[in-house]
Amino acid sequence: MPSAASKTSTTAEPLAEFREDFLKALRSMVLSRTLEEKLGSLYRAGGRIVGGVYLGRGQEAFSAASGIHLRWGKDVYGPLIRDQAGRIAYGEPVIDTLRTYLGTVTGPMRGRDGNIHRGQPKIGYMAMISHLGSLLSVVAGALFARRLQGRLGDTVGATSIGDGGTSTGAFHEGMNMAAVEKLPLVVSIANNQYAYSTPTARQYACENLVDRAAGYGVAGHCVDGTDLLECVKTFRAAYQQARAGEGPQIVVGRLLRLGGHGEHDDASYVPDLQKHTHEGRDCLAVAQRQAVEHGWLTEKDVLDMQQDAKREVEQAMGLVMKEPAPDPYRENWQALSTAWLVEGQEG
C-alpha cells in the first residue's frame, strides 16, 4: 500500500454507532431503487421520457454512504451519473428527479437539461455537464471561494467519478489542484468494472485506482462497494478526515454496474460469470439482510420501507404528470444573465 493510503480496518467494532448512518443510507437506497425502477419502466413504455435513462443499480450503497454526510444547503455536492441514492441521501426530493427526466418547467432544469444533469448551484448542489472529470474542479472552486470568504467552517465538498472518468485530464488536473489547495473534499471513485462497454483493463494499468492517492499526496480508502456497513464506516472516516483539515480523500469502491450503461444498453458484453462474483451481488439485498441480522430492522420494517418508497414515488409521479412541459414560444432564449448584452435585445 502507498504510504498516504490507509485501508479501512475491518476488525470487530461496536456497530451501534453506525446504526443511524446505516439506516439513513438504507432508506435512500430503497427509495433510489424504487424511483429508478419507475424510470426504467417509463423508459421502456416510451413516450414520457425523451432522452436516455441512466441508473445507479448496484451502486446505491456506495453512493448513499457518501451522500448521508452532506447537508442540503450547506455542503457542496457534485454527484455524477450513478448517484441517485447519494442525491436522495443528501436531501434532493424525488420529484426533482422525475421533473428533470420529464423535462417539466417546474423542475430545477426547466426542460433545458435532462435526466442526471441536474442541480441547484446556488445552494452548492452542482449540476453535472456530460464531460466526465470536469466537475471536480468546480466543486473544489466552491470550497476555495468559501475559504477565501472566511466562511468555510465545517463545510465539506464531495464529488464522484467512475473508473472510466478517472482517465480524463480534467480529473487529474482537478484532483491535483484540490490536493495542492488541501481542500476538504471527498472524491468517490465507483469502480464498477466498466466504462460503457470498456473493461477496466483497457482503462488503466495500475493495480488499484487507490494507488493514485499517493501520487496526489492525498489519503486513499478502499471499500467493498457491495457492503453498506463497510461503506458507511469508510465514508465516515473519510469525511471526518476531510472536515478535520486533512485535505482531499479518495474513496474507491469496488462493485459492478448491475445493468447497462443506460437503459438502451443490454450490457451483453458483461460475462455472466462476472455477475456471479462477489462484486456482482446486489448491495441492496445485502444491506437489507445486514439490517435484519444486526437487529436494526425486522423483516416487516424492510417491507414497510419498500412500501413507503413506492408510495412516495407514485405520489410524486402523480404530481409531475400534471405539470406543464416547456413552451418554446414562452421560453426566454437568452444565454446571458445580462439582458442588455444579449444580441437583438435593447437595454
Partner 1 sequence: MSSITYLEAIREAQYEALKENPNVFLYGQDIGTFGGAFKATKNLGREFPGRVFDAPISEDAMIGMAIGAAVEGARPIIEMQFADFSSVGFNQIVNQAATLYWRTNTPCPITIRLPSGGTAGSGPFHSQSMESIYAHYPGLVILTPATVEDAYWMLLDSVKLEDPVIFCEHKFLYYHLKADDFGQSMPIGKARIARPGRDATVVTYSAMLHESLRAAEELRLDGYEVEVVDLRSVKPMDTDTILASVARTGRLLVVGEAFPWGGVTSEVIARVASEAFHLLDAPPLRLNSKDTPIPYHPNLWKSHRPTTSSIAAELRKLLRY
Ligand X SMILES: Cc1ncc(C[n+]2csc(CCOP(=O)(O)OP(=O)(O)O)c2C)c(N)n1
Q: Which residues contact 33 (CB under 8 A, 6 or more apart)?
A: 57, 60, 85, 284, 309
Asked if 317 interacts with partner 1 (CB under 8 A), we say no
Among 177, 286, 292, 319, binds partner 1 (CB under 8 A): 177
Site residues, ligand X (CB under 6 A): 81-82, 130-132, 162-165, 168, 190, 192, 194-196, 257, 261
143 contact, one of partner 1, Mg ion, ligand X, none, CB 5-8 Å limit per kind: partner 1
Q: Is the dihedral of CA 61, 238, 162, 253 positive or negative?
A: negative
Instruction: Output 171 or 235, the one with its CB closest to ligand X.
Output: 171
Residues 115-154 that bind partner 1 (CB under 8 A): 117, 119-122, 124, 126-127, 129-131, 134-146, 148-149
| Residue whose entry in the numeric block shows the C-alpha cell 441492496 | 284
Per-residue DSSP letter, 280:
G
CA triplet 179, 183, 188: central angle to 5 degrees?
75
Give me the numbers of helices (H) and strands (E) for the chain, helices first please: 11, 7
341 contact, one of Mg ion, partner 1, ligand X, none, CB 5-8 Å limit per kind: partner 1
285 contact, one of ligand X, partner 1, Mg ion, none, CB 5-8 Å limit per kind: none
Instruction: Output 18 or 62, the one with its CB closest to ligand X.
Output: 62
Residues 148-167 that bind partner 1 (CB under 8 A): 148-149
Asked if 195 interacts with Mg ion (CB under 5 A), we say yes
CA–CA dist 188, 346 (Å, integer): 47
How near is the Cβ of 6 to partner 1 at its closest, in Å? 25
Q: Partners of 266 in the beta sheet?
A: none
| Residue whose entry in the numeric block shows the C-alpha cell 428527479 | 97
List the x/- string, 5-34, binding to Mg ion by CB under 5 A.
------------------------------
Instruction: Output 81 or 231, the one with its CB closest to partner 1.
Output: 81
How near is the Cβ of 109 to partner 1 at its closest, in Å? 6
Asked if 209 interacts with Mg ion (CB under 5 A), we say no
Run of H or E including 298: none
Q: Which three cell numbers stand for residue 39?
A: 424510470
Q: Is the dihedral of CA 213, 218, 223, 228 positive or negative?
A: negative
Instruction: Print the SS3 string covering 49-94.
Output: CCCCCCCCCCCHHHHHHHHCCCCCCCCEEECCCCCHHHHHHHCCCH
Instruction: Output 166 or 241, the one with its CB closest to ligand X.
Output: 166
The footprint of partner 1 (CB under 8 A) covers 76, 108-110, 112-113, 117, 119-122, 124, 126-127, 129-131, 134-146, 148-149, 169-170, 173-174, 176-177, 180, 334-338, 340-343
